[in-house]
Amino acid sequence: MAKISGSKIIVECLLEQGVDTVFGYPGGAILNLYDELYKNQDKIRHILTSHEQGASHAADGYARASGKVGVCLATSGPGATNLVTGIASAYMDSIPMVAITCNVGNNLLGKDSFQEVDISGIVMPVTKYSFIVKDGNKLADTIRRAFKIAVTGRPGPVLIDITKDVTGESFEYEYKEPEKVSPKADISEEDILNAVSLIRGAKKPYILVGGGVILSNASEELRTFVSKTDAPVADTLMGKGTFDGSDPKYTGMVGMHGTKTSNLGITECDLLIVVGARFSDRVIGNAKKFARNAKILHIDVDAAEISKNIKAHYSLIGDARLILRKLNARLDPLHHDEWIAHIERLKDMYPIRTNKKGLTGEYIIETIDKKTEDDTVICTEVGQHQMWAAQFYKFTHPRTFITSGGLGTMGYGLGAAIGAKVAKPDKTVVNIAGDGCFRMNMNEIATATRYDIPVIQVVINNHVLGMVRQWQNLFYGKRYSQTILRDKVDFVKLAEAMGARAKKVTTKEEFDAAFDEALKSEITYVIDCEIDSDEKVFPMVSPGAAISDAFDEKDLKLNPVK
């Protein structure tokens, strides 16, 4: 058994786990590890981001696009704390990630040393587990355990903090094959038969799918399940791409900015089958009125989610793919012709009404949809543009929509897009941002150009913080406190200064031409799209209201919000 440095143990353990790319930013406490990465640059590619937050989002985007564990690195103190937002984003959306930080030496811990911070304590509420390694003899097993935890059951981020002296001293190391993690669904035959009986007895079933279906790679099983149950399908924001958005049984997103069809259909159904979704407040609206006519069958890998927000009448706990396979094997094809016909009438009655004049958010998203292949990866920041992307882009494949759902992190998308493009270099990757979000981490354009990572950055620029302004307009008497962004920032010049190509557009024709050019570009391309400041996302559900009370602009004119 050979003795090697702690830094080399880290690298060897990453190679054991099949890691070929990491995202990070060096500093004093992590220098030993970076020296070892330099020696192994032919085995592990390191992407130096412009900011540690960008590294954490890139690792997250890499994980979502690839299905593998994303890895990010940072030094002690502010380097480590700059990862926290990205770690929390991954935690809220159950994304497998390992963050490795290095701290001051053992002899300096607890003495308020330069750039010392208890990062393992700070991230405890937003990780599946956090470690601090002060004994190099435990280093290899800790790293292996971290990767296992990140992918076991409900995935999520894990942080490993390692003292600097451990990275420099030598310890015994022996190669180990990664422990295989198999999905589980320890469900009895009786449980499955009870669920099948519940499904067979429903006259008006509805299926709601979330990100758990993507994480368990269960899209094929879901399609079979939908066909057998003959039920309409809605999705959460995180479930986009789980079920084909162009399928006739698909009714759109549910919740605050969901379609009226999905919101009304779920309110009217007698059985709601929820697969891999956690009943977020933005999905359910008023909990007392959500699916009030239905029995709830909740399928989820995490027992803690059952009846947490909405009472489940029946639950199946385990991996979604395994559970759906068991259900499919015992279900004969069902038929709900009247119910499906009713849902189709709702679709006809309640299309998403939008403004068709000039360059709009809807037009931009629909044009991107028309001009890109089905396997294009769409990333977003957070706000109105995110909702337009969810409403108007027809996602047909899993792992093609990458967005911060649970935490709602402005500044997330560009780093995530870089990570996704690194994971899927042959796919077109588009990041859709508002101008407020783009400002937050637009420095990552420099990362994309430094490494020749050609992402397309579309900025839907309304010169305001659009979603916050929408709320101020509807619920705060049009008092636009600190949401107007009409300053002298020129995104085109900024992008060009960082080595990208860029163009400002104000018309449909200009956007069409710029996006065509961007698709052919071999370097990062930024399109600054100027739209009206008061364009809104509809339908919308007022805070505290039932999702069945969703309103659009036409409803608003008849019954203004008070």
Tokens of 77: 């103190």
Q: From the candidates 467, 470, 536, 551, give the one annotated as an active-site residue.
A: 467
Q: From the candidates 12, 36, 52, 362, give the one annotated as an active-site residue.
A: 52
Q: From the candidates 16, 115, 134, 366, give the one annotated as an active-site residue.
A: 115
| 180 secondary structure, DSSP code | P
Q: From the candidates 128, 164, 347, 424, give the one annotated as an active-site residue.
A: 164
Q: Would residue 384 show up in a list of annotated catalytic residues for this protein?
A: no
Tokens of 380: 């977003």
Prior bond of 248 cis (ω within 30°): no
Give the whole-angstrom CA distance, residue 294 versus residue 297: 9
449 close to 498: Cβ distance less than 8 angstroms: yes
Distances (CA, A) of 241 to 210, 237, 281, 376: 10, 10, 21, 11
Please give the helix or strand (H or E) that residue 38 lies within, else none: helix 31-39
453 close to 92: Cβ distance less than 8 angstroms: no
Tokens of 379: 């990333």
Residue 415 CA to its chain's centroid (Å): 12
H helices of 202-336, in order, are 211-215, 219-229, 260-268, 281-284, 320-330
Q: Would residue 114 show up in a list of annotated catalytic residues for this protein?
A: yes
Q: Would residue 177 show up in a list of annotated catalytic residues for this protein?
A: no
212 close to 298: Cβ distance less than 8 angstroms: no
Distances (CA, A) of 482 to 466, 472, 478, 520, 534: 11, 11, 12, 38, 15
Which single residue is written with the structure tokens 């094959």?
Answer: 177
Q: From the candidates 3, 39, 43, 114, give the one annotated as an active-site residue.
A: 114
Residue-wise burial string across 194-212, b where 16 or more C-beta atoms lie within 10 A, e elsewhere: ebbebbeebebbbbbbbbb
181 close to 11: Cβ distance less than 8 angstroms: no
Distances (CA, A) of 374 to 84, 241, 245: 33, 10, 11
Residue-wise burial string across 400-432, b where 16 or more C-beta atoms lie within 10 A, e elsewhere: bbbbbbbbbbbbbbbbbbbbbbbbbeebbbbbb
Q: Would residue 164 show up in a list of annotated catalytic residues for this protein?
A: yes
Q: Would residue 115 show up in a list of annotated catalytic residues for this protein?
A: yes
Our CA angle for 256, 259, 260, nearest 5°, is 95
> How many other CB atoms are there within 10 angstroms of residue 465's CB atom?
22
Which single residue is written with the structure tokens 């897009």?
Answer: 417
Catalytic sites, residue numbers: 52, 114-115, 164, 467
